Amino acid sequence: MKTKKLIIGNWKMFPVNAKDAKAKFVAIKKVASTLRNVQTVICPPFVYVSDLKKLVTGHRCVVGAQNSWYENEGAFTGEVSPAMLSSLGVESVIVGHSERRANGETDDVVSKKVAAAIKAGLTVVLCVGERERDQDGDYMKLISNQLKSALQGVQKKDFNKLVIAYEPVWAIGKHAVRAASTDDALEISILIRKTFADMCGKDGSCVPILYGGSVDAKNAWEFLLKSQVDGLLVGRASLDPKVFAEILKAADTTK
C-alpha cells in the first residue's frame, strides 16, 4: 500500500551556481527530513547531482535527475547515461518532460529512454500531458497513446519501477494559460489508471501518479486530496525553499 506522498522538485535549469543549489537543498532537507508521510526527491541540473548527493542524510529527502539518455556509454556528446546516474547512487530520473519534448524529444526517444533507465535500475518518473484541451476529448486519447508508446519496451514485471506524472503543458511554467483544476487532474488520474489496467490486467493502482503544473503552497493540498494522486511534481515553487516547505507540510497532512 502506498502511504507516503511523493513530492518531486524539478529545478529545471536553476540555480546558476553550486553554492545556491547546496543552500536550497539544505533548507529543503531541514523540513523534509522531519516529515514522516512524505518522500521528497529533488532533481537538480546534472552538474549539482554529486554535490547534493553528499548532503543527503537518511531517506526522506533524496536526489534524482531530470533526464537520461538511452545508451549507457558512447559517442553522444552532452548526454548523461542512466548507468552514470546509477553509479552516483541516483535512484530516479524524470523522462519525457514537456520542456524536452518541446525541444524535439519524440515518443520514440522517450520510450527508448524509459526502457534504458529501468534496465539500469532507476525508477522512471514518466511525464505525459496534452498541449491543449479540445472540446471532443481527443486529449484523452493523446495521453493514453503517450503512455502506451513510452511503455512499449517495459515488461509488466517492471511496472513497479514507474511513476507517472500528469503534466498538462498549458498549465506548466510561467507561460501557463491557467492552473489546472482538481477535476482536470482527477479525470486524467482515472484515465492513467484505466490505461494501466488495460495494459496489465490489474486495477492500475500499483503505479503512483503525480500531478504537476503550477503547483504552489495554496493548491498543493487540494490536488492531493481531490485528484486521487499520490504526489506532486513541482517546478518553480520547488526553487523557493520556504514555499516548497509549505507544499511538503501540506502533503504531510493528507494521509
By the criterion CB under 6 A, which residues form the site for ligand PEP?
A: 10, 12, 167, 172-173, 212-215, 233-237
Nearer to ligand PEP, 118 or 172 (CB): 172
- For the question of residue 167 being annotated catalytic, the response is yes
Residue 121 and residue 24: Cα distance in Å, rounded? 28
Residues 12 and 66 sit within 8 Å (Cβ to Cβ) = yes
Greatest distance between any 2 Cα atoms in the chain: 50
Smallest gap from residue 215 Cβ to ligand PEP (A): 5
Is the previous residue joined to 44 through a cis bond, with omega within 30 degrees of 0?
no
Nearer to ligand PEP, 99 or 187 (CB): 99
Residues 122 and 161 sit within 8 Å (Cβ to Cβ) = yes
Strand blocks (E) in 98-237: 123-128, 162-166, 209-212, 231-234
Residue 101 and residue 239: Cα distance in Å, rounded? 22
Per the DSSP assignment, residues forming a β-bridge with 92 are 123
Catalytic hit among 130, 167, 187, 246: 167
Residue 164 and residue 91: Cα distance in Å, rounded? 16
Nearer to ligand PEP, 90 or 234 (CB): 234
In what helix (H) or strand (E) does residue 221 lie, and over which residues does it extend?
A: helix 220-226
Nearer to ligand PEP, 195 or 214 (CB): 214
Catalytic hit among 97, 99, 130, 246: 97
Smallest gap from residue 71 Cβ to ligand PEP (A): 25
- For the question of residue 222 being annotated catalytic, the response is no
Residue with the closest Cβ to ligand PEP?
235
Just list the catalytic residues. 97, 167
